[in-house]
Structure formats: structure tokens, C-alpha cells
Amino acid sequence: MDILQNAYKNRKRSLSEYESKQVLASYGIAVTREYLAKNETEMRDAAARIGYPVVLKGCDAELAHKSEKGVVRVDIRNEAEAESAYAEICDAMAAGGAGDVLVQEYLGGRRELVAGMIRDPGFGPSVMFGLGGILTEILNDLVFRIAPIERADALEMMDEIRGSRILDAVRGMEAADRGALADILVAIGLIGLDHPEIKEIDINPLIIFNGKPVAVDAMIGLAIKEGSQE
């Protein structure tokens, strides 16, 4: 895969959100509709193609913890709001160097999950699943399986988190599509096995929207290329 090979050869530590989602999508994982904008005109065109409301995010491989750095604006409802948000994000990013802006569809789902992979030195790629968003840090409600995993393993993982009822039909929301979730976890394990240069995958949040899981934010971390002067 060119994205991964080029990043690894260039000794990058991670892919941008946009690049990470392209890798995920190539394995059938549903991601948000989005376009990368290099200027305000491209931003307006992208928002028009997606349709309001949209989300704007600063996008760069070195840009982590985007919300804390003030480069994320959500639920933008018209062009005037988009232009204002774009200017604010560009100002915030200027301090840390240049970068593009990701224009993304806004999903109003209320259930946030996390899915990903870490490469254990002893066991290899291990698939992760649990509660997402801010609950990941607060509750640490996570489970792991060593890859490869089967669909049955993935379904077990969903039952093992303490907050598994979040996947049921609750408060007028339909039940999460557990089969689609299982497919995502299986795919994450395959990515880890297919690409040893990947150190970690973090999809957070993985939002349940109309019952279906969609990767709203994602990061793929890379191992340092052998011979790197780190």
C-alpha cells in the first residue's frame, strides 16, 4: 500500500487522519465522507459537496490531540460559519506549522466506541475494543484479543466490556449492528498482520450512527524504520 510504504520510507511516526482512514477504508471499514482542503475555496467546495452540517479539522501527520489544540469545529451549519471556523483553525495551526483542513460530514450519533490495535513485543498485533470518546480514559473499559481473530471472537469481545449494554436498543436508539462491528474488529486484526510496519491503530470515536459503526477519527502509528537516527 503506497501510503504506508511512503510514510515508512520517509520515517514518519504516524499517518494523518485522512491517510489513516484511507488505509481503513481499503479493508472495508466504514469512514466518514470527507475531503482534504488546501485553501478556503477548496474548503467551501468540499462542504457544498458533502452538505451541511459539516466538521472542520486541522489535518497533519504530526497533529495529535486536535481538540485540545483548538483545530476542530463541529456541527457547522452554513458557509459563513465554515469560513469563520476555517480561519480560526488556520490561525491555531500556524503556531505549529502548516497543514491542510479536513472537511467531514457531521454525524450526530450519541454512542462512541473505540477500536484499534497495538503491537505487543511478545504476542504481535492485538485487537482492542471498548467504550470510546472521553469514556476511554475515564472508565478504561477495554478488551483485547491477539490477531488473527474470527467473527465469534469479535462478538465475545463486545459482550466482555462492562458497558456492553450500550450496543443494545436504548432510549429510542436502535441496537448497534454487531455483525458490522465484528467485521471491523476482524479487519483491524488483518491490517496488523498484513503490515508489520504499523505499530498501532486507534479509531476513536467509532460512532454508532443509525445502528451502523462509522470511523469518525482515526490514527495509524508507525514503527521507526530500521537505521533511523532516533
3-state secondary structure 185-206: HHHHHHHHHHCCCEEEEEEEEE
Place of cell 497543514: 99
The pLDDT tens digits for 161-173 are: 999 999 999 888 8
* Phi, psi for 45 (deg, rounded to 5): -65, -40
Show the cell assigned to 131. Answer: 467504550
The pLDDT tens digits for 67-103 are: 777 899 999 999 999 999 999 999 988 866 667 999 9
Helix or strand run (H / E) with residue 182: helix 178-194
The pLDDT tens digits for 137-194 are: 888 999 999 999 999 999 999 999 999 999 999 888 899 999 999 999 999 999 999 9
